[in-house]
Amino acid sequence: MRLTVIGTGYVGLVSAACMADMGNEVLCLDVDEGRIAALGRGVVPIHEPGLEALVERNVAAGRLAFTLDAKQAAEFGEVQFIAVSTPSGEDGSADLRQVLAAARTLGRHMPGYRVVVDKSTVPVGTADRVEAVIREELNERGVEFGFAVVSNPEFLKEGAAVEDCMRPDRIVLGVEDLRAEEIVRALYQPFLRNHDRTLVMSRRAAELTKYAANAMLATRISFMNDLARLAEEVGVDIEDVRRGIGSDPRIGYSFLYAGTGYGGSCFPKDIRALLRTGIDHGTPLRVLRAVQEVNDEQKTVLVRKAKRRLGSLRGRRFALWGLAFKPNTDDMREAPSRTVMEALWSEGASVCAYDPIAARECRRIYGERDDLSFAATMIDALRGADALMILTESKEFRSPAFEQIAAAMKTALIFDGRNLYDPAMLARHGIGYESIGRPKEGGR
């Protein structure tokens, strides 16, 4: 099948490469000349395990190509995926200008029947607006092509997006046209050889499903972080509580880890957009408002612990392990590390950071500054540090040589935002240790 993917960001590029790998011919459209030029040279602008090899293989096979030509893109694919960014507006709502611009481009140039698939995360009713914009452009041209708009939200996890795309746990299709449903089902059939995991519903239901999924996961995170505050006050280890409630099959273990809050390109933006939708429809979402408030506060929990432990932070040097919002990505959008670093700088402290992937992105964001340096290794980041703050659970952080940690630091003190270590073990090594929702040092 011939496909066009509008947008070569995270969702668009992963989806395009995976679709091409299944034998489809895929043409990607973007307005960013630098990005298209880089992709044409084989340079993948985002870090995602397995993506670079996937792009390279399918470009070489002639199944994946890139263009700046909107007319060419609209004419190419029978199925047109819209996978552009929907950033937060000033009022928290999703900014749909790129989505609607893509729809308008399609309406101006499509030569016949097209299935238009909304892959971007968009508020309820967006498919209706996309349909109206395309129809308006067709009327302007004086043509009456048939077309269908489908809502097909993505459920990709950064760091595992290629695997998620190749082996989806479900395909949500918001579709109200039988011909379009048959076409999109055929497109996804190679990904569902084991058994059909397609969920067909209305377009509006599909749009709300995407937001609801992210909202539920964010709610679990904030619930555990809120409970962790209470656990510290009553002398309970939140890890025991996590295991106790996670063993209930109605609850499960996923997204029950206390930490420094959620970040990234999805949860914060989508919570804001869903809250805005509730307000716009006279139905404030009070639980989600609390989820957002807890998360905003949780991002500074390690800085508050450091101030209580050390007093003034002026002149202090902090080692930081983990800059991205999660392991295996360079994405620092709304990452807890940014809130932590900015809070430390405001207190007069400096930071030496280590992240195996995201250091370059951090340099791009903050530029050169005297209170920020980068280390080549996790141990190098510790040299002369008054304390270490851990912000991601990267594998190499999970079982370090504690003797080396104690020897490298000016003060052997760890503020662990991911509860990676056993407090009793750290006490035996003579390392001060504070984590989230657990006894400060030693035992239970």
Instruction: Give the residue from 62, 61, 59, 85 showing the smallest Cα distance to 6.
Output: 85
HEC secondary structure over 98-158:
HHHHHHHHHHHHCCCCEEEEECCCCCCCHHHHHHHHHHHHHHHHCCCCCEEEEECCCCCCC
What ranges in 281-397 are assigned the alpha helix state H?
Answer: 286-298, 301-310, 336-346, 359-366
Which amino acid would we find at residue 48?
E
Q: State how far the Cα of 389 lies from the Cα of 197, in Å rounded to an integer.
A: 41
Q: State how far the Cα of 133 lies from the Cα of 103, in Å rounded to an integer.
A: 6
Are the CB atoms for 436 and 391 separated by under 8 Å? no
Q: State how far the Cα of 344 lies from the Cα of 341, in Å rounded to an integer.
A: 5
Which residues are CB-contacts of 10 (< 8 A; sequence separation ≥ 6)?
46, 48, 156, 158, 161, 265, 331
Are the CB atoms for 205 and 213 separated by under 8 Å? no
Q: Which of 165, 266, 352, 362 is labelled catalytic? A: 266
- Is 266 designated active site? yes
Which amino acid would we find at residue 312?
S
Are the CB atoms for 419 and 397 separated by under 8 Å? no
- Number of C-beta neighbours around residue 250 at 10 A: 5
Q: Which residues are catalytic?
A: 266
